[in-house]
Amino acid sequence: MTEYKLAVIILNYNSWKLTINFIKKQLLNISLPKNTRIIVVDNNSSNDSLEHLEKLKIKYNYVLLSSNENNGYASGNNIGLKWAFDNGFEYGLVANTDIIFENSEDINKMLSIFKMDSRVGVVSPRVFTSSGVEMNRNLFRPSVYDLTFGKIRYRKKGRTLPSELRGKNNDYCYNYRPQGCCMIVDLKKMNSINYMDEHTFLYMEEPILAEKLLRKRIKGACCLNVKIIHNHSTTVQSIAKQRQIYKWQNASEVYYYKKYRHFNYLEIKLCTAFTALYFYTLRKLKKFN
């Protein structure tokens, strides 16, 4: 049986109860490799989270790291990923505290894909909403049309699986964008691309990571045998108002379009206009599921 050295990275900001609940009810109730270490990164919480996490780290057996400032999601997770790589771990599971594993072997199934295909640098599961709707698997690199007028079509297209994207067996397929709520990364490959881009505070980390991997010809994969539930954005919305969330989203999108996709001015304006329409109108109507 293959042994994996796995580090589980949990990013905490003002939500120590959610973090402990996730460790207790999810991580401690599923099958993890023998050489697994849980790493909690407190992203400069403004409440008493760090104090509580310090008191509980022995009871729940995790490494506690902390940042002196909150520079966002990518920066916070990089603290844990870099620590894991420097301490000899092979893989890093980046996980939100609002996900639910359906099967005790989910992590082992995802890890097995790295041994099947050496080109893979990140593995994600299939992700479902709490109402049972599968979210976009993001199998294809989106065009300007996909990000604007073809947005609905693109989301539906992401749920189909053409033969050219299938892996060596029916256990996985290749995809463009990983699922940031739950993804396992090859730490050696992450180190080779200098980890996640820290220029964004929140949102668009996954497509940016996808682009960085593409430049090194590293593939992303979706594990077709693993399904998780994600109560999407529950943590974010509990600590930030809607207007601020949109500002983060917009700034991150513009950075991705300019830096990684090289869209021109009009293309960027068009894409961000559709995002605004989605965010303020269609999102409220609970469409695009």
For residue range 112-169, list pLDDT tens digits in order: 999 999 999 999 999 999 999 898 899 999 999 999 999 888 888 877 777 778 877 7
Residue 199 DSSP code: T
- Provide mean pLDDT across the span 216-235: 88
At residue 287, the pLDDT reads 42
- Provide mean pLDDT across the span 29-57: 97
Instruction: Identify the CA nearest to 182 among candidates 287, 282, 111.
Output: 111
Instruction: Identify the CA nearest to 215 among candidates 157, 113, 123, 141.
Output: 141
CB 255 within 8 A of CB 207: no
Q: Within 10 A of 26 (CB to CB), how many other CB atoms are there?
A: 15
Q: Quick check: helix, strand or coil at residue 172?
A: strand
pLDDT above 50 (res 5): yes
